[in-house]
Amino acid sequence: MVVISLRSHFLTLKIRRWNFLLRQNNSFPPLIKIFSIFDGLEIEKKAKNASDISNQEGFWDDRSRAERVLKELKYWTTLSERWNDIRAKRNDLEELAALIEDENSAELEGFERELETISSLHKAAHIELFLNGPHDQNDAILVISAGTGGTDAQDWAEMLMRMYLRYAENHDFKATVREKNMASEAGIKSATMEINGMMAYGYLKAEHGVHRLVRLSPFNSKNLRQTSFALVEVLPVLTDDEGVTIDEKDLRVDTFRASGAGGQHVNTTDSAVRITHLPTNLVVSCQSERSQAQNKAQAMQELKARLIQKMAEEKAAKVEELKGGYKEAAWGNQIRSYVFQPYTMVKDHRTNEETSQIDKVMDGDIDPFIEAYLLNNAVKN
């Protein structure tokens, strides 16, 4: 009873303070600035411009351009609808706060529920405002590679692949495993996945980096504590007019027989494709499709994304080098640690976001880490 009374008392004080601020400012003070930022972005105007372009004659003559415009239209329209919904809920909450005069527990609990709802909606929409990079609205390619740690690292790579498949499922994204290189004892040596969904790359770029596992190894006869690493690379899926121009003379294309699960045709013909970009020595491969031409097209798509990422990383590294803070990307520079034993913890070393609910994280609940990274990154920039 004492706890309930104190909670009710503090909520009453909060409401009284907000009622005072409402009389002074006629709005929720924490939301005044963010709504002015939102209004300044002219979201509805941008949605209308994209809509006007989509209705022009000959719009589908350039399919890649049309798909890009439709993505922009969906992005701006969805963002506008979300902010209008938040604005309406904010107005309702203001009216509710103005009506509460005493410590009526039912009204206080209703106020608290509405406050939590609008706070969650505001946070999600606020993050979407930051997803305005050149490829943030694109689909994503994830490449997961086992690192230091032997069999444990290969098992860890497969655990991460499952985590991202569950993340995609939780968000109604489509996930396709393009290629999976199985390890001999357990787990995978590497895997390439494609995640299709609204702003998939914008969100999943937060996962790019080295992921560290700490646990009692099931592959060690003495069940000793083992530290293992896996690298997650995140690339945007590019349209034909977004990529870089690649000279065919700079490519070496090898074909081989697809391995793993598949139909009779997949496993008995040289349908798998491996492409090497000779100037940079970048290698990509694909074996998920029945057709060699389809596998080559997907491999070229990944190669273009890797080349763009490589150019962006070289530019960023040069800037950091001039600042005197450049560090080589290598094992040990982990972005996140997952500790299973002797205690449970997942901690992101870039933002200090952490949780002890490691089972939820491995089941795809990585949104708190992604959101913390995007907010932190926006503040830095």
Per domain, the residue ranges of the chain are: 2-130, 135-381
The predicted structure's pLDDT at residue 3:
36
Contact by Cβ (8 Å): 150, 88? no
- What is the DSSP code (8-state) at residue 60? G
CA distance 170 to 273: 32
Across the 381 residues of the chain, what is the mean pLDDT of every consecutive 10-residue run?
A: 41 50 45 52 77 85 78 80 80 72 63 75 75 82 90 94 96 90 89 90 92 90 85 83 72 76 52 85 81 82 81 65 43 85 93 95 95 83 63
The second-level CATH assignment, the architecture, of 135-381 is 2-Layer Sandwich (3.30)
Note the pLDDT of residue 296: 83
Residue 118 Cα distances to 13, 38, 53, 85, 89, angstroms = 19, 16, 34, 9, 7
Phi, psi torsion values for 259, nearest 5 degrees: -115, 170
Which letter does DSSP use for residue 348 in this model? E
* φ and ψ at residue 228, rounded to 5 degrees: -130, 160
Predicted pLDDT of residue 328:
43
Residue 334 DSSP symbol: E
Q: Which residues pair with 181 in a beta bridge?
A: 190
Phi, psi (deg, nearest 5) at residue 23:
-65, -30
Cα separation values, 326 from 31, 249, 290, 370, Å: 38, 34, 43, 24
DSSP secondary structure letter of residue 289: S
Q: Among candidates 67, 51, 40, which has minimal Cα distance to 138? A: 67
Task: Give the pLDDT score at 360.
Answer: 96
CA 31 to CA 37: how far, in whole Å?
10
What's the full length of the chain, in residues?
Answer: 381
Strands (E), 147-281: 174-182, 188-196, 209-216, 225-236, 251-256, 272-277
Phi, psi of 185 (to 5 degrees): -100, -50
Rg of the chain taking only CA atoms, in angstroms: 25
Name the β-bridge partners of 345.
339
CB atoms within 10 A of CB 223: 12
Residue 143 is inside which H or E element, if any? Answer: strand 140-146
